[in-house]
Amino acid sequence: MDKNILDFETVSLNDEKSALVIIDQTLLPNEIKILELKTQDEIREAIYLLKVRGAPAIGVAAAIGIYLAAKENKSASFDEFYRGFKEAKNYLASSRPTAVNLFWALNRMEKIVLASKNKQIDEIKDALRREALKIRQEDISVCRKIGEFGADLLKNSCAVLTHCNAGQLATVKYGTALAPIYIGKERGYKIKVFADETRPLLQGARLTAFELSANGIDATLICDNTASQVMKNKWIDFVFVGCDRVAANGDICNKIGTSGLAVLCRYYNIPFYVCAPSSTIDMSIKTGADIPIEQRPPSEVTDLHFKNPIAPRNIKVYNPAFDVTDNSLVSALITEFGIIRTPYKENLAKLNLLNF
């Protein structure tokens, strides 16, 4: 295959086929398989099983998914149409609890329906299609802006450590935490990236290392527990991570292992930057303690990437998908509006983001 992974669209709409089109990320890096998802069951399962993943990409997938549900809705009256829309919305919203973009996108689509209640059903469906595509296009623009602001913090011949995958595969294009690296490359910077493997689902090994290599970035894969050593070796200048939710006080929720990196950065005096689209900022959540943390199946730890189980049968497993990093450990939030520093509560409030 002549194409590399960055030549494929992470998430898109094929309106002619009434399909959400995604890359099946559970098969990467060994196989690039494009899925055309047409039913709500298929779309919800793809989100839950991480066939499509990354907070921004999940939001776009949800917007397209709820449009497709509305497109198939045969109701003649608004009340009946809206009832079906709410059922589909609640069904998709039940797929994952932590990534706020899922609910942000679904609520944004619902507002379109409510604002169009006096219109014909076909007009409402068309408005939903336009909004879903608008959300997708905005994601590209937002990530580009985050990349530009983040690249301003970088320097030529620097080294960045990142965790999980917050690159193009987690968004429509550019990514969040990897966007500054990609924009830095456009500016001619030489940037070396250390990618944590990110246990237990190995998004760093399977996805980040894969797309960085495809983009010609000098990338080195490390085990999660190697981060302290490479910092001690003075090989790391910056840490850039993405996030799935930001609380009103600046606490951030991201892939499990992120909070440990932030603690290490404080000890080794390394800037810890969080790339946060405004769609991940939840002003209705006061602190990180209020963010629901998704618990994943034990088999992801004991079986998933191994020929045989690596742990005793029936061993208890604690497998949270995310952890919360205290705002005091965050050097800055990089948003599409610019770089936000402490005091986070006051400075985030100035963005006037609406609770949803």
List active site positions: 244
Task: Give me the helix-helix angle, 40-48 and 78-93, nearest 10°.
Answer: 30
What the block records as the tokens of 159 is: 């080294």
- H helices present in 94-120, as ranges: 100-115
Question: Residue 17 and residue 44: Cα distance in Å, rounded?
Answer: 18
Comparing C-alpha atoms, which of 112, 187, 203, 121 is closest to residue 155? 187
Question: Residue 353 and residue 338: Cα distance in Å, rounded?
Answer: 14
Amino acid at 320: P
Local structure of residue 275 (DSSP, 8 states): E
Question: Residue 279 and residue 316: Cα distance in Å, rounded?
Answer: 35
180 cis-preceded (ω within 30 degrees of 0): no
Q: Which helix (H) or strand (E) holds 89?
A: helix 78-93
Question: Residue 226 and residue 210: Cα distance in Å, rounded?
Answer: 19
User: 124 Cβ partners below 8 Å, 6+ apart?
Assistant: 70, 78, 81, 112, 113, 116
For residue 20, the SS3 value is: strand
Question: Residue 24 and residue 15: Cα distance in Å, rounded?
Answer: 19
Question: Residue 169 and residue 10: Cα distance in Å, rounded?
Answer: 6
Angle, CA of 77, 79 and 80, to the nearest 5°? 65
Amino acid at 244: D
